[in-house]
Amino acid sequence: MTLLVTGGAGFIGSNFVLDWLAGSDEPVVNLDKLTYAGNRE
């Protein structure tokens, strides 16, 4: 299974992705428009 996260460069999305990666070996695809609220890091 591959998880698709939309808005994953924002505050809530990025924390979700980091938490998911810390607790699972399943891959994550992060999709974000990267507007003023997004953070590439």
* Contact criterion met (CB below 8 Å) for 15 and 40: no
Taking the C-alpha atoms of residue 41 and residue 24, their distance in angstroms, rounded to an integer, is 20
pLDDT in tens, the chain (41 residues): 999 999 888 889 989 999 999 999 999 999 988 887 776 77
Residue with tokens 């924390």: 15
Confidence (pLDDT) at 35:
81
